[in-house]
Amino acid sequence: GGTGAAGLAKLLGTDPQNGLPADPPTDFRQREETYGGNYFAEKKLKSYLSYVWDALHDKILLMLICMAVAELIVNMAKDEKRKDGWIEPVAIFTTVIIIVNVQSFLDWKRERMFDSLSQKLDASNLRFVIRGGKQVSLEDKDICVGDIIAFNAHMAATIPADGILLSGENVKMNESALTGEPEPIVKTAQKPYILSGTTVNAGQGKMLVIAVGESSVAGKIKKEVYDADEDEGSPLFHKLDTMAKYVGQLGMVVAVVCFTAMLISKLVQGKDVAETITETLIYAIGILAVAIPEGLPLALTISLAFSSNRMSEEQNLVKTLDSCETMGSATTICTDKTGTLTANRMTVRAAWLARELFEADVVHHQPVGPIVKANSSVSEDVKALCGNLISVCTMDESQLLPVAEDGTQDFVGNPTECALLKFASDLGYDFDKIRKETVGRSDETTTKGSSKAFSSARKMMSWAVPREDGTYRVYAKGASEIILGRVASVMDATGVIHPMEDSERGNLTDKVINKFAKDAMRTIALAFKDVEGFPTDDLDEEIQNADGTAAFCAETGLTLVGIVGIEDPLRKEVPGAIQKCYAAGIDVRMVTGDNIATAVAIAKSAGILRNEHFDEAGEVKPKRAMEGKVFRKMVHKYTATGEALFQQEAFDEIWPYLRVLARSSPEDKLVLAKGLNGSKLYQDHDMVSVLKKEHNIEIFPDRQVVAMTGDGTNDAPALKAADIGFAMGQSGTQIAKDAANIILLDDNFASIVTAAKWGRNVFDSIQKFLQFQLTVNIAILCVALIVAFSDLGGREMEPPLTVLQMLWLNLIMDSLASIALASEPPTDEQLKRPPVNRSDFIITEQMWYNMIGQAGLQVIVIAVILFRPELLPDCDDGTGPGSKHYTMVFNAFVYMQLFNEFNARKLRGELNVFSGIQNNRMFFVISFTTIVLQFLMGQFGGKVLKIHPDGLNVGQWAVCIGIGLFPLPWQQFLNLVRKSVVLVGKSGSGASIIELRKVGGGKSRIDHKGLPTRDCSSAIQRRHSKEIAITKSKSAW
């Protein structure tokens, strides 16, 4: 059946050219059973019972269980306690079961949410596979042994399975991930083995799949580490975890003090030693259970999981959870143009072909291709040359799909190439037919031709094919100024070739290239060259590539055929999204491969370049828009050997001004990411002041947090170096997706703004829960201390909250409140303030006012009704657990927490604490449910919760709920006090309270809503012109 790769293909039932006969193959299941599937057995999710077992290892819960057992034994040993002595221990067991199950359910649900995200991520990884003679896009799991995969260094660079090279041109593989060898490995018929997990450095080709999944080389390695747990938590998670430990330690101190004071008091009163120790210890453990805010890390986890799932619905597929949180601190977005700012639906709108200029008929919506075809001044030979050049000199994956019934036609592959193929189709040339019939380009004859794929270093590509007379024709296309610099001649409309004069070259630059570019069109030049023998890789000593390396001789001395202007319309939502970025204090920088004129035109339309970036003559001010080669020379110092050394000081002189980087390379993106991250310009107060005064440029008072977009393989290092890397889900390569933190499913810049909003919302959600949680902690610890020392002072008094009541409160705080407050959806208001400063303390000044003020109210109210029971209606049955007095104290305290949860939704002194509640159904449901449950507990809890067996009457309930509502109006009073202090600070009379100072080179300010902010743009300056320039006090920040 043949030898080599072709013979192996036949043994596997595969046609070397057309692949497996059908899609999907009729024997797909049989192949999976025989050779395995191209996936791993799904990682087994932990069962619900496993989470229950883990939750039961909580030390506080174990202590409660042990003490409940001890109490049960002590009570059962006494005749007078035997009848009812079992109720509290059993109730504690029941409460522990409820807490364990709630915690277990949340963790169980969270893992399944993450698994759902993982499956969405896998579905975004598509490969080009040949089946039935057609190229199809498949997920990794749908690839089987015997399939033929098409790969290249641009769009399909990651290898998903082991295989053998069937055909290819200049294929070089990066196998460092497997072997550690940094040098690219050349693949030929003699060295055909291509391994999964490696990437294509250069060239393109097709491979026969021979091993998949766990049977592949990478699969065997991955299987060994598949079960490794890599989740170490985000920085904010560790910060909250640490805070929880500190609060827990404070709770431990209070619990010990209360235990000691109450124990001494009861022993002095002559109470039973064993019973006293047991009861007092259980009460102390109850205080500890409430005091330790284990819900803090839980709230972050819930918020991140909730945000990640909702973000996927809004076209953001989150790979790493902490990137959600980090995006809330983003200060700079470095974005691509094509497909991100623009619609990625490219069309040839204008063409200069063989010295004739053509433009699309905008009025009649007629593209330029049919206009050129109908023009008789351009010979058919020239049109044929143009059609053949485009069809041959484009990548395999760039294709036009058949026209649909509604007349639309979809593109597959590189959008720029697809626009050229559409242009050739309008001229009357079938790209697929030309590719199949051209020797040196068809799949069967690729070895007779020679291709040099597009690279960012060369900004062009070429393809040489043999001619009938024995010579070779090199077709070339690329950036117009690059090609124009390499042409020696030009073809006219009749097909006659003329020498290219410098005057004509200059005329083309001014009247064609610049004209197209100023109309926001990308310019691509088409050229060819006939050579005697097979094109070699000899280098030209004089002509250089865009990156300064020597050019191939075969790609110089070209004949210019035409220059086309390709329009990629700006997405309609982009200008508004960019305006939101500037209003949010996020700088936007466009990094593009287009020439400077096209880049400036697009940036101006998008709103990246605004009026202040242009001088009076309408020209872009210095440093606002630069070309990559100029940028590289300015930020690098070159050694005698030509090695480029990055200069941070030189970079710091450029980046505050820079808004557009044109004709850039992926290396420029990496320099931007590292340079912005490494900049400490904010510490240079003099420079910051100059930038503000002379250029109205505000520098963020901390390290820049960089978001970077990318779609190409070479973008991966920059995506990794940035704080948040965004890969394009539709046009991005697999390597870019692997390197990114978030994948934009719609390739749309507006989705990045959505991610920023969700990122800020994560931080806000944590602050809301923290505000609620610490208020309860402060209040309950203060009440416990007051009761303990009152008891010690001779006033015999039982604690107003029993252990079970505190555990119920703990359930409300840690589990239910974390869900309610962590599920708050974002609002546009979050994009009207500066980014979150990651070095700021998580508790703001306004939060301190809220927490201490609310806790103070609760402590005073509870102390008054605790020590003055006569103020409460119908409390003549005495005091202590089980009395109406203590029942009302319990209800009043819990309802104050529940209604304060509404206050906790607002962080900046907003008047309407109910605004937006209709958008958070989860909060409404949980709040309503806990309010109703508290009523049931307070009315029918009986001996279990140690409340009055008859519950409360209507009047008593009215008083409890009325007291519970106190925090709502009290919050308005706190807001008034807070604003009064700010006004005092402004007038100068309160200088001892709030001082005017500089923080990190910029003024820290608080707006009329109590919002720490800064001037990040003229938009913010205008909007906050009436704000008060003050700084955060040390105690609060």
Indicate which residues carry an active-site annotation: 336
Nearest C-alpha neighbor of 94 from the set 800, 808, 799: 808
3-state secondary structure labels for all residues of 323-362: HHHHHCCCCEEEECCCCCCECCCCEEEEEEECCEEEECEC
What is the DSSP track for 34-55?
Answer: HH--SS-PPPPPPPHHHHHHHH
Contact, 342 vs 571, CB < 8 A? Answer: yes
Contact, 54 vs 908, CB < 8 A? Answer: no
Q: How many residues does the chain have?
A: 1037
What is the DSSP track for 182-245?
Answer: -SPEE--SSS-EE-TT-EEEEEEEEEEEEE-GGGSHHHHHHHHHTT-------HHHHHHHHHHH
- Rounded Cα distance between 368 and 726, Å, is 35
Contact, 682 vs 703, CB < 8 A? Answer: yes
Nearest C-alpha neighbor of 106 from the set 394, 349, 366, 303: 303
Pairing between β-strand 539-544 and β-strand 356-359 as defined by DSSP bridges: unpaired
- Rounded Cα distance between 124 and 747, Å, is 13
Instruction: Count other Cβ atoms within 10 Å, centred on residue 954.
Output: 7
What is the DSSP track for 348-405?
Answer: EEEEEETTEEEE-BTTTTB-HHHHHHH-SSS-HHHHHHHHHHHHHSS-TT-EEPPPPT
Tokens of 236: 């904010």
User: Which residue is listed with tokens 């051209």?
Assistant: 438
Can you say how many angstroms the Cα of residue 428 is from the centroid of all Cα atoms in its chain? 44
- Rounded Cα distance between 341 and 605, Å, is 10
CA angle 325–840–686, rounded 5-degree value: 115
Contact, 136 vs 413, CB < 8 A? Answer: no
Contact, 662 vs 520, CB < 8 A? Answer: no
Contact, 792 vs 265, CB < 8 A? Answer: yes
Tokens of 984: 């005092």
- Rounded Cα distance between 579 and 583, Å, is 6
- Rounded Cα distance between 753 and 742, Å, is 13
What is the 8-class DSSP label of residue 711? -
Tokens of 468: 């009938």
Q: How far is CA 962 from CA 896, 969, 980, in A?
A: 9, 11, 28
Q: Residue 404, exposed/middle/buried by CB under 10 A (0-12, 13-18, 19+)?
A: exposed
The CA-to-CA distance between both ends of the chain, in Å, stands at: 77
- Rounded Cα distance between 818 and 296, Å, is 8
Contact, 308 vs 320, CB < 8 A? Answer: no
- Rounded Cα distance between 244 and 999, Å, is 28
